[in-house]
Amino acid sequence: EPEVTQTPSHQVTQMGQEVILRCVPISNHLYFYWYRQILGQKVEFLVSFYNNEISEKSEIFDDQFSVERPDGSNFTLKIRSTKLEDSAMYFCASWGQGSDTQYFGPGTRLTVL
Amino acid sequence: DQQVKQNSPSLSVQEGRISILNCDYTNSMFDYFLWYKKYPAEGPTFLISISSIKDKNEDGRFTVFLNKSAKHLSLHIVPSQPGDSAVYFCAASVSNTGKLIFGQGTTLQVKP
């Protein structure tokens, strides 16, 4: 069964450093999303991406964040200068025609020290 | 901004009995509702969904009920199994491609 994959599974970085989180959505899907879950809190929407552009973003998704689909398979989330409060699980999701739902990847745990 | 709320942080039921998880929402623009199951250190796994034109959707042991007038949905699991023990999130969106707004989650424990 097709699935969304994410790398790395765990990323540790120093405050102020740039990180890139990578996702490979399901191959025929057209809509892509990033969500995050801070420990003990709810899953929060960050951004959605369709037709090579951002379709919607939350107030969390400020100028420090960017997304890109550099080729036909990868979907990346970049945080330019990480803060302590960026520590969270980051989930990528994708949706395709005929899907009941957005399918989520296993997540990347980002730890900012 | 708690547009989707799950007021019970935890629920414990005996194996074989019914588990009922509840969810309330405030945004009347939501027209698509979903339940996800999540284990620690894993991504949410889709369980079942319902659109606003329906009031019930069933898939095996899982049934979702939607009461639009009360802005309330519930997930029934019958019979409950120990393997159902996990965190359950309800989520809502304005369309099936739109962003998902999640509740806080309910931890279900099914005791053998």
State pLDDT tens for residues A21-66. Answer: 999 999 889 999 999 999 888 999 999 999 899 999 999 999 999 9
Amino acid in the structure at residue A8 = P
**CB A104 to CB B43 under 8 A?**
yes
Per-residue tens of pLDDT for chain B, all 112 residues: 579 999 999 999 999 999 999 999 999 999 999 999 998 878 999 999 999 999 999 999 999 999 999 999 999 999 999 999 999 999 999 987 889 999 999 999 999 9
Q: Which residue has the higher pLDDT, A2 or A52?
A: A52
Amino acid in the structure at residue A5 = T
**CB B98 to CB A42 under 8 A?**
no
Q: What 3-state DSSP class applies to A98?
A: coil
**How much of chain A exceeds pLDDT 90, in percent?**
81
**CB A41 to CB B104 under 8 A?**
yes
pLDDT value for B1: 59
pLDDT value for B79: 97
Query: Distance between CA atoms of A62 and A85, rounded to whole angstroms?
Result: 13
**How much of chain A exceeds pLDDT 70, in percent?**
100
Question: A63: which residues sit within 8 A by CB, 6+ positions away?
Answer: A80
What are the chain B neighbours of A58 within 8 Å (beta carbons)? Answer: 99
Question: By CA distance, what is A90's nearest residue in B?
Answer: B43
